[in-house]
Structure 1
Amino acid sequence: MDHPLSTPKWTLPEGTTLSRLTREHLLRTVESNAAAIDRPWHEVVSADPLALLSAADAARVADTVVTRFQEVEGRKLFAGCEIAARERPDLYVLRSEAAPLEERTDWPDGVVADGDNVFEHEDVTGKVLVVREVSEVDRLMREGVPEGTIGVIDDAGGTMTAPILEEFDAVLCLAGTVRSHLGIIAREFGVPVLMNVRLARALRDGETVTVSYSTEAQNVDAYYGEEAKPRAEVRSVESGG
């Protein structure tokens, strides 16, 4: 029986520094532990699968990955929800508060952002509402989302905003890909969404923008080397764009 580490299953390039570092350090730890065990591979797996990666190993890998990530990226991890940033401000920061602006010198006049379109839909004009915290979702569940609202959110998982997703006219997500959970449920609800939105400047609550959801949907394999479709644009109506 071939040793499974001789032919790793990970054949696609990682899309982020965090996933790459995690894979590298986990694999390195498992390889080291496997080399120290003087038994056939099938006996190790059937007898004690955790021998290759103990809880202590996992904790060390996590600490190493976080440290290396901050060294490589020069920033903290983006939090998927505000509780992570509140409880571990040494590790996490909200994407809305720390996401770097896109360093482009060729932003077209009036374009304030762009993103990957989940599915084709007519263009949407509406007022921006930045939703960062669960408390804001709770308030909107009680009071309702104002008509004509384009939600701007951090969480590509979509879990936080799922209860009110249908009430938005459209959504801009600062994270994720068209394969993310938010993209999946957006298709089910029929709510137009841009994922992985890049900002020319911070979007402000109440400003009016037009989003080109009529742009061709992004190829789901574009993140793995396939030809990417043009990104949909977000134009500021107030600036005359």
Structure 2
Amino acid sequence: MKIRNIFTLCLTIFPILMTYETPIKGIAYGDLILLLLYPFLFYKIISEKRKVKDIVYFPLVILFLYLLVYYLLLAFIDAKLFSETSIKFIHNLFYLFTLSFFVKSFYDIDIGYKVLKVVSIVATFFLFIQIMGVTIFHIYIPGTLPGVPVMRDELELFNETVMGSNMVIRPRSIFNEPAEYATYTSLFLAVELFLSKKEHKSIRNYWCEIIVTIGLVVSKSSTGIVCAFFFGVYTL
């Protein structure tokens, strides 16, 4: 598999990869894969002698530099707050650096769209299965891989205790939170409705969008419901 394809796949399913913890404590698979890709990405850029303007996405570079200066100033102004947010700070810079310097050259939009579509549809059908399991059979089917440690203890606790609690059950599909599912699938809907070109505007051409929109509503995520309403109004 080409490095471009691996990079595209990693970024497109990044929220899912960030759910699981590697054998290295505190490091998610998403972070680890990106770090392992870095030498190959840099090598390809250097070996092909690409110009800076061809690889850099300048709006994100400006944001990257802004955050860098902001956190450096924070280190001098409030060292305690800086130490408390240092891990998050490093993560943010790491992700922004990746987007700023590698996406323009290595992200394959066609492959990314296909992966986004497949994951959105699969995640939505799994959400339906979770909802049916809860409402009909009174069981909750976790969306995490069995035996693989997760980054958040809260997610594991939710999977184990949700049916015995009095809380409103909001299935999460294969994501950490209902809001993550809603955000991910809303991105797919946005691409489908605003960027893709449908030759014939019939219901059959929009079956994927209809299924995902239903998923947004039944996910009980406020983000999902708002997005579903917005997309529904747009298509009228």
TM-score (normalizing by structure 1): 0.25
Name whichever structure is richer in strand by fraction: 1
TM-score (normalizing by structure 2): 0.25
Name whichever structure is richer in helix by fraction: 2
